[in-house]
Structure 1
Amino acid sequence: MTIKVSVVIPVYNPGEYVEDCIASLLRQSLPDDEYEAIFVDDGSTDSTPARLDALAAEYPHMHVIHQEPSGWSGKPRNVGIAAAQGEFVMFVDNDDWLGDEALERMYDYGVANEADIVIGKMAGKGRPVPRELFRVNRPRASVENAPLIDSLTPHKMFRKEFLDRHNLRFMEGRRRLEDHVFVAEAYLLAAGVAVLSDYLCYYHIKREDGSNAGFQRFDPVGYFKNLREALDVVERLTGPGPLRGRLYRRWLRNEIVGRLRGSRFLAMDEDFRRELFAEARAVAVERFGPGVTAGLPPQQQAVAVLLADDRLDAVEELARWEARVRPSGRIEQLRWEDGALRIAVAAEYLVNGKPLTFRTEDGQDRLTALSDLGVDVPVPLRSSKVDLLLRERATAAEFFQPAESAYERVPGADGTFHVALRADASVDPETAANGAPLGPGIWDVVIRIVWSGWAKETRVGSVHTEAAENGRRAALCGTPSRLVLPYWTDGPGNLSLDVDHATKKFDREVLRIAPEHARFTDGTIELTLPLTVRETETGWLRYQPADGGAAVDVEATLRPAPEGAVLAAGLPRPGAAKGTVRLEAGLPSAERGTPCWTALPLALDLTADGSASVNADASREAAAEMARQAAAQAQAEERRRRRTARKRPLWRRVAGRIRRDLRRALKK
């Protein structure tokens, strides 16, 4: 059978990190005889060569090529291309992994759209990935109609015939940005590029020890020499004009201006900052005209202007100011409406806890901080917006949610004003994953404030209104139904969504049910749960004898009511259960296919004739026990959160110790 995809993985001393990569390849939904994996071992000195040999011996579609160390990933990838038998070639790094259906979905999407390049949605675990590119599926993308240039890593699928026809290969040797040269040329030569955004295909992973190649310190002279090679590709394959300027702007924005801003720049030692500034300026003056700089957002444009004027001191001053700028947000409304969770957020940027200030001069708005530095850059406030994203905690998968943004000028002293932003977002759990349902798990709510050259994100929920608290309620969504619970996280109190009983948080919600809420009529019990349902649903009620006897499960109905969902269930038939029983509510779970049970803070006394009454003492005992369990769980989660927050990667801890030792030595 024809091989559809060849996966090429350059390998050098990955240690245990290669195991996740291997496991993801073995889990692919594409049949084993329709794809191959080619591991190119670039002279590894750890146990990896033996591990890969054993893998290849066990699985016929797993191959390994051993070679002498070449110093970087360019040559291993080229060796993999030469050995590839597939219709498409997919590049994967040895410390990353693929979604289980990535190869099948990307291949089918590429064939359906006659694409030379297929880009699958990416997620970053500790690493940045493009966002705007993956807002929607883009079956016919190009550098002119889509932000392809934002994604220059090679972790994509390329048609093998396309690579061979244009002799597209990676530059070899120990060098930076060889992937930029390769991918930029591929974009400009491709007849079609397809961007698949409704399935998470590729996971970029930052190692805990910080040893990924892209995180290592670089030589500015060599780095910017390699950057010029990427610019040469654009110059060779485009003519003068807006397209070339827009493509150039990507390198000015990311590789030059981005390295001279905020905490990132200030963290460098003084000599390195000076060398980086000088080499960056040489490229900027040599290759980027005023039209390229003018297209940058204001904050980035200000850095580029100061760079061109050779004002390192002003760039450092601006970096110190920018390092204090923080995004902030407040949830003002939270409610379910027509099956969607409506979230209203107020947001703004703060510096030292106070709003940024602006002035209007000659009919144009300017950021006060830039004016104080003598940088005359107008700020187009109308382009400001607030995005709301859902991020799956386990995988870092992100999806933009529909949102409408607005801004308001708030007058201040001395003729200045600050800007208050607002976003009204709608989260439909059945379409929130780029048209697909949210998968089961924990989804964190994140806002991203795009404004004046910043696109900073923050969690929201720790500050919220009483209206938001009153509107926060779980809901049954979808077909088959599953629980979606908005909740405040322990500790910070930020907003997250529990989809399909991923946590035990709903147990805390039912603590508000009191004994007097139970109603008995004609052999039936009715309880109001803190839950939203759009129409009558099926639920269950479990009667669990306090003496440990067999539980009795009764099918129930859940019907809409203003104060929640009314669960109505028959009492056990006479003799089926008697004495004191505790109650548990059973809610549907699409993932499990069986009810998911939640203990209720209620206990009943059942009589031999089948009647029932609330046992107040046993109910209080049940509620107290549930409250103790919830508090213990919250404390455990807070301890885990604090341990995670304190834990820094090994390389950062070692670097910190080295810096401290150097300071002590210099003082002596």
Structure 2
Amino acid sequence: MPEPDVTVVIGAYNAMPYLTRCLESVVSQSLGLDRLEVVAVDDGSTDGTGKELDRFAQEHPDAVRVVHQENSGGPSAPRNTGLELARGRYVIFVDADDYLGTEALERMLAVADEQGSDVVLGRVVGVNRASPKRVFTGNLPRADLFESRVWWTMSAHKLFRRKHVLDLGLRFPTHYRIGEDQMFVSRAYLAAEVISVVSDYDCYYLVRREDGGNITTSDRDMGGRLAFLKDICALVAEHVEAGPRRDHLLLRQFDIDLKSWSGPRLLELEHDEQLKHLATAKEIIDAWCTQGIIDKLPAILRLRYYLIAREMFEEALELLRFQADAGGRYEIVLDEGTAYAEYPYFRDLDTAVPDSCYDVSRQLKNVHHLADAQVEGTLLRLTGHAYVQRLDSTRTTTEVLLRERASSQEYRLPTARTASPQVPDDDQAGFTADIDLATAAGGSPLTPGLWDIHLVIHAGDMERRIRLGSRRADTIDTTTRPRIAVLAEQGPTVFTPYFTKPYGNLTIDIGETAHTLDKRVGAGEIRWAEKDSTLHVLGKLDVAALPDGLALLRMRSQTGDVRDFDLHASDGRFRAEVPVSTLTTGLWSAHLVLALADGPRTLSVPRSPQMSAVRWRRSLRRFQAVPQDDTDTLVLKVSRTSLLGGLRTHRGGH
């Protein structure tokens, strides 16, 4: 038989009725049954799992193979059995409770073949349970183990190159009741040349059983978990030298595993057991929890690990009781710009725990929302709300900070603190900011450049600076359209409020630094009036605001004479009328003119190829205006005509 591309190994123990959906998702893969094989291992089930596996094997005899074995007590043995029988170039382990997206194997295999991947992670979706999110924010054809979040997902539900597995001699350890995935996957990661991530498709559905039968969600073997944690930390230390790269990996073990296994669940045990497990936790902390890891942990863990590392086990248990009783609630102390949590033993002279264990400054999130943004003349008015989580809003103030991107020049403007209906429990969370572009620079107009809008939140001595605009109301118009207003005595200036891409923050472009008028102003339709010699020029003037008299249509003669005509603008369009019969004889060119502060902006009106001549009488004389063909711009030659020409008067269209 030809070698299949993928072997799907399914270990099953008392998995009904979930097993049926799992099997159906595998045999219906878009990859095709001719390119995959299924090795399903019944690990001594007693609920009909074995019969269901046999039924699928009878329906798909060329693709599904079933093995029945005595119960092993865990997922490792059935997975190892399946791995021994696998023939595919790649192998994936699927739990009988879970199921695959229809295109999962096809998409994951395509990336593996394209990149030469040793391991491929497919996007995981939790069904009534949590699932990893941050690693799946975008496709990663070649993920960096020490830069990405790949290490944070250690389940075996991945596509492994079978040769990679065989070369490393990988098997799932059978002496762990929990954590066997991590030992297998971590070894595969550490030795992999290429790890890929597929994030644009839901590949694997991770299901929480209603009966709570998932081992990973029901196991309470604390001693076994801590013993496993020592092994995984030692494995990482064996393969990665001390420093930031090792810290990046082991941060997961201290921020997830030890956090859970030295946490409030210890309170369920007898006191002797508690002390024994805390002693093991101390060994792990002493050996591998570096300052680089400590600095990245939340304060409650920094405090817990400090107490454990110094054998202050009773104090550590008191802290766990506080966590269980307080439910995460704590008071904040602000001191010289730093926020401290009033956890147990804060500034207690007997325990002498350093303040750094209580510093929650970086844990307090900035909450901000832009409710409205309106421009009228030179004034930009912003309303919304902003505050720092857990801090008293009555002691909080805000101000706008304008920062020019190239020069780093900054100006601060006051805001009015108001109530916000979007924050009903906080009557001082709202703000209104009036940014007058004509006076925002210390009483003078803002200079040309890109001015990023920040909001500064002051809470006591603490200052938080945030970019404003990414979190905003759906009703705010995000269309990027230039505006023209008089910012200074010199005259009108172009400015463009816009939301940046891809982050969506609010910035003001003063003076066409990044948004020019060139593609927003231009003539479109040019035609003669039906009954006289009036020239109609229509076009676009795509600006959101335009002062009266700023724009005009200028006819300029070859001898230097100038005639200006009003533009009538609305809804991004303009029209102008030129009574050509009032022009003197000679060559006249047509231009759009905007009278801006930095000098007039002149744009030529393009010639219309279909436009013909027009003729008229003035007193007893006859005249004509003939479009010139030797130029791309509109040039009219105004001249007298002969008597014969007058008898053949013709009025053209375009």
* TM-score class normalised by the smaller sequence: 0.5 to 0.7
Q: 1:248 to 1:406 in 2, by over 3 A?
A: farther
- In the other structure, the counterpart of 1:379 is 359
Shift of 1:163: 1.0
1:242-272 per-position Cα deviation (integer Å, ceiling 9, x unaligned): 212222222122221233345x555666665
Is contact 1:224-1:279 (8 Å) kept?
A: yes
Is contact 2:332-2:339 (8 Å) kept?
A: no
Q: SS of the residue aligned with 2:258?
A: helix
Pairs within 5 Å for 1:232-247 = 232-247=234-249
Shift of 1:90: 0.6
1:222-260 per-position Cα deviation (integer Å, ceiling 9, x unaligned): 332222222222122112222122222221222212333
- In the other structure, the counterpart of 1:31 is 32
- In the other structure, the counterpart of 2:408 is none
Alignment pair present for 1:360 and 2:335? yes
Q: Distance in 2 between matches of 1:105 and 1:387?
A: 38
- In the other structure, the counterpart of 2:166 is 164
- In the other structure, the counterpart of 1:154 is 156
Q: SS of the residue aligned with 2:355?
A: coil
Is contact 1:70-1:174 (8 Å) kept?
A: no
Pairs within 5 Å for 1:234-383 = 234-261=236-263, 264=265, 266=267, 273-323=274-324, 351=329, 356-361=331-336, 364-369=338-343, 371=346, 374-377=353-356, 379=359, 381-382=361-362
1:8 maps to amino acid = V
Shift of 1:164: 1.4
Shift of 1:405: 12
Q: Distance in 1 between matches of 2:14 and 2:243?
A: 45
1:45-68 per-position Cα deviation (integer Å, ceiling 9, x unaligned): 331112211210111212111223
2:56 maps to amino acid = L
1:491-526 per-position Cα deviation (integer Å, ceiling 9, x unaligned): xxxxxxxxxxxxxxxxxxxxxxxxxxxxxxxxxxxx
- In the other structure, the counterpart of 2:481 is none
1:359 maps to amino acid = L
Q: SS of the residue aligned with 2:14?
A: coil
Q: 1:242 to 1:385 in 2, by over 3 A?
A: same
1:568-612 per-position Cα deviation (integer Å, ceiling 9, x unaligned): xxxxxxxxxxxxxxxxxxxxxxxxxxxxxxxxxxxxxxxxxxxxx
Q: SS of the residue aligned with 1:44?
A: coil
Gaps of 5+ in 1: 327-349, 389-403, 421-459, 474-668
1:523-576 per-position Cα deviation (integer Å, ceiling 9, x unaligned): xxxxxxxxxxxxxxxxxxxxxxxxxxxxxxxxxxxxxxxxxxxxxxxxxxxxxx
- Of the two, which has the highest radius of gyration? 2
Is contact 1:358-1:418 (8 Å) kept?
A: no
2:107 maps to amino acid = R
Q: Distance in 1 between matches of 2:367 and 2:141?
A: 24
1:47 maps to amino acid = G
Is contact 1:306-1:314 (8 Å) kept?
A: yes
Q: Distance in 1 between matches of 2:397 and 2:245?
A: 33
Shift of 1:209: 1.7
Q: 1:418 to 1:197 in 2, by over 3 A?
A: farther
Is contact 2:99-2:204 (8 Å) kept?
A: yes
Is contact 1:39-1:52 (8 Å) kept?
A: yes
Is contact 1:356-1:418 (8 Å) kept?
A: no
Is contact 1:7-1:91 (8 Å) kept?
A: yes
Q: Give the TM-score of the pair, scaled to structure 2.
A: 0.53
Gaps of 5+ in 2: 369-383, 399-421, 431-472, 476-654
Is contact 2:262-2:281 (8 Å) kept?
A: no
Q: SS of the residue aligned with 2:95?
A: coil
Q: Distance in 2 between matches of 1:106 and 1:144?
A: 22
Task: Report the aligned-residue RMSD.
Answer: 3.8
- In the other structure, the counterpart of 2:625 is none
Shift of 1:220: 3.0
- In the other structure, the counterpart of 1:642 is none
2:355 maps to amino acid = D
Q: SS of the residue aligned with 2:57?
A: helix
Alignment size in residue pairs = 388
Pairs within 5 Å for 1:460-609 = none
Q: Distance in 1 between matches of 2:210 and 2:424?
A: 28
| Between structures 1 and 2, the one with greater helix share | 1
Is contact 1:359-1:417 (8 Å) kept?
A: no
Q: Distance in 2 between matches of 1:16 and 1:272?
A: 38
1:289-328 per-position Cα deviation (integer Å, ceiling 9, x unaligned): 44443442323212211221223343344334444667xx
- In the other structure, the counterpart of 2:460 is none
Shift of 1:156: 0.6
Q: Distance in 1 between matches of 2:316 and 2:391?
A: 29
Shift of 1:70: 2.5
